[in-house]
Each structure stands twice: as C-alpha cells, then as structure tokens.
Amino acid sequence: MHLRLFAHEMGPIHAWLRVSRGKQGAPALPDLFDRLDAVMETRNEGRTWFLREYVVARRFSGIGNSYRSLRCASRFAALMLKNPIHEEAWSRLFESLEKGFESWEAGAAPEVVYFKMLYLFARDEGFPVREDWWRRLPSRQRAEADQRLHLPLSEQPGSDTAPEKLIENLERWLQGHHEIRF
C-alpha cells in the first residue's frame, strides 16, 4: 500500500506499507488524517521509505462529519504534499497541521481554519505574506484578514461569512508569486 505522509522530522514523504492478509493482532490500517507513531526504514538513502511499525496515536475521524471540513482538510493536506517544503519549517508546519485537524474535528468554521493555516504555511515557508500580500489588499479586506487571523476560532464571525475572497486572493498570490501548487 502506498502512503503519502507528512513526517515531523522529514516533511512530506512517500512510503510503502506491506499489508498482511488475515494476520491476527495486526494494527488497523492508517486512515486519512491519522497521526502515527512510526518506525520508518530506507535502504537507498531516503529515495524509498517503508513503514515498518506504527501505532495510530490519534485519529481525526470527526473531520468526516462535515463535508466542508473534510474538503478543507483534504485541500490543505494536498497542498502540503504537492509542494517542496523547507526543512526549517517541517516541525512548525507539522504542529500547524495537527492544530488544524483538531479544529476541523471540533467543528470550527472550516474555511476560517483553512485560511489561517494557509497564511501560517506562507509565513513559515518564509514568503513575505505580511509584507507583500497583506499590503496589496484593499483596506476593507485587510481589516477582515486581520480579524480572521488574530481572533480565536471561538470568537470568529459566523461560518456563513466564510473568508472566500481572502482565500482566493491568497491562493492566487501563492501560485503567481511563489509557484505553489494547489
């Protein structure tokens, strides 16, 4: 089975898992968004990885209770796996990813969580998101961006006022100026 993982120490990686049929006591197969404690192995200097042992440390199965949460979580996870990420940012992005999954699972406004995570991704990758993207926004959108980024999720305006224009604008900026793939 081919897996796409985001490892705290290695960033985004592709790994293989040998699936044994009918083996009693075998751990449950990893599911989408699971956090694993794992032992990885490579024999060719990191070009091919194998998941040798693992334990599911945390399941974020509640994300699937909302289609919007599932869509946003999948979109962000795909972003992390499609793009090269600087080694210095791996641990910060891993922590952001886990906090985002927790927020989506808890039922926080999905698009607001996605927007915050997208902004943090850009910042942690060293892109001038505050200095360039934010400054280019019209003043009204700049005020909304500040509100969305600085207010805790529990104090955000209702989910019916999702920050779609801010998300689209930030994604276009990341694609156009930094060649980020979505």
Count the alpha carbons within 13 Å of 172 in the hemisphere toward its beta carbon: 10
Which residues, other chains included, contact 83 with Cβ-Cβ below 8 Å and sequence gap of 6+?
12, 180, 181
**Cα dihedral 110, 118, 5, 57 in deg (nearest 10):** -50
Walking along the chain (182 residues) 10 residues at a time, the average pLDDT comes out as 91 89 75 94 89 94 96 94 90 93 95 96 96 96 95 79 91 97 94
Lay out the sheet containing 2-7: strands in order across: 2-7, 11-16, 49-58, 35-41
pLDDT score recorded for residue 46:
82
This prediction has a pTM of 0.90
